[in-house]
Structure 1
């Protein structure tokens, strides 16, 4: 089975590295900027269409939904029967579902792959789409990361990514508010955070308070807010985290 990596941004380069480290060779690769560097086991293609013609499974790693839309508009005529696309681009569940429908009409498969964590550290992959396609791509996904889970139909991978990032934001917001309350009662902020950090179960969410912030992901909070609205649920912690991050971005909070 021939493998392609489409999009050689930072995420794409790390994915390529994971594959090469797990003995995957003869990988086809293409970056949107057309740049290529010689390395063993990698065949660089001059266009996305050429890569699509050669690879049976195409791993996609792009920076935004606009680039992804442009890509699929360009490669649509080259998608063939049973070809599998595994997309790690951060997009909404609705967009993932729409792309999957379009690829299915061309007799291919599209798996949306939500990533939670850092690809060069600890991370989890959540996959949505055809179970048949997931089974075919499972060994390749294990080369990228051992912790990957099939979540169900199209859009579920991106939905769980947003849920996990939203939960992280809510936990961080709770710690921040609690530390500020402790400070109001005369307990030094850094001292309070330091004592909590001694408990492994909560140490990781506290990393952002020690200058090692996770990306502040307002997009995921908004996606989950819409999911909660559709489900008829009011999640106070979610709305508090979303409000705080919005105010921080507008400069109302430090």
Structure 2
């Protein structure tokens, strides 16, 4: 197929490589052309605008920072709407608000094309390995048409109509933020109480306390870099969308709101460009302990 891919950031750039490896004709676009160097070396074509990346493609993928950016990519000057045509499929992997995503889907549908909201999870190692989870919302027949291409990047879960993919991703990030905060509290409490971290971590990675966060993310704390592949500014954006979704649903979500405050405190303390797991460092610093530990902690984005 002829495919357009707009947004070659940490996750998008890694995911797009799998489409080239899958034998498809890929056109890429980003504000920073240097991000496409590896893709161009593998045979991809460069597009200067989102409209150029859309023209003549069977499927167009987008993965950008957030609601403001995807609105510009779709509706802006030289945006997707300038070139999208009947029966083309647009798959948006941006973590967006369900309402904003639905409005953009309607605009695309007015052109006779199909919109799928398919935000992703699985971190950079998942994106590189073609194991990035995609939560797809939209017309089911369109999702099935796009599935063989999407599955080159990882498993696809059909969630329902437009907006359901976005909500599922927000639920996923909601749980991750809670888990990361709780992980920091438990590890710090255990270490300060006299348990050796090299014994505590494997013990908590069993049974009822086990989580993906403990396995995948704790090593970034032990290494002391706190995972710069996803920043506290991105956490602020995502948690804002999550709390807005809670408000729209009319849920109390008291724990989520407390966690949002903790991430914001970490962002203000360390800087928005710092890694997401500085929410754990906040707990370390308050207790006067360090969770850094010797080990072969290979960053997940290098695996």
TM-score bracket, normalised by the shorter chain, equals 0.7 to 0.9
| TM-score under structure 2 length normalisation | 0.72
1:52·1:78 contact (CA, 8 Å) conserved in 2?
yes
Residue 82 of structure 2 is aligned to residue 105 of structure 1: no
**Unaligned stretches of 5+ residues in structure 1:** none
Counterparts of 2:139 and 2:177, CA distance in 1: 30
| TM-score under structure 1 length normalisation | 0.84
TM-superposed deviation, 1:81: 0.8
TM-superposed deviation, 1:7: 2.8
2:246·2:252 contact (CA, 8 Å) conserved in 1?
yes
TM-superposed deviation, 1:203: 5.4
What is the match of residue 237 of structure 2? 219
What is the match of residue 299 of structure 2? none
Aligned pairs for 1:73-222 (under 5 A) are 73=75, 74-75=78-79, 76-118=81-123, 119-120=127-128, 122-145=131-154, 147-183=155-191, 186-188=193-195, 190=197, 193-199=200-206, 202=210, 204-206=212-214, 207-212=216-221, 213=226, 215=230, 216=232, 217-222=235-240
Counterparts of 1:79 and 1:223, CA distance in 2: 28
Selected match of 1:238 from 244, 256, 261 = 256
Counterparts of 1:18 and 1:172, CA distance in 2: 29
TM-superposed deviation, 1:29: 2.5
How many residues end up aligned between the 2 structures?
251
TM-superposed deviation, 1:28: 2.4
Q: 1:205 to 1:41 in 2, by over 3 A?
A: same
The SS at the match of 1:125 is: strand
The SS at the match of 2:260 is: helix
TM-superposed deviation, 1:62: 2.3
TM-superposed deviation, 1:46: 4.2
Counterparts of 1:189 and 1:2, CA distance in 2: 54
TM-superposed deviation, 1:47: 3.7
1:3·1:27 contact (CA, 8 Å) conserved in 2?
yes
Deviates more, 1:168-177 or 1:97-106: 168-177
Residue 29 of structure 2 is aligned to residue 30 of structure 1: yes
Counterparts of 2:24 and 2:256, CA distance in 1: 44
Counterparts of 2:201 and 2:146, CA distance in 1: 43
TM-superposed deviation, 1:134: 0.7
**Unaligned stretches of 5+ residues in structure 2:** 271-281, 286-303
What is the match of residue 19 of structure 1? 19
2:15·2:128 contact (CA, 8 Å) conserved in 1?
no
1:25·1:41 contact (CA, 8 Å) conserved in 2?
no
TM-superposed deviation, 1:103: 0.8
TM-superposed deviation, 1:250: 2.8
Q: 1:170 to 1:9 in 2, by over 3 A?
A: closer
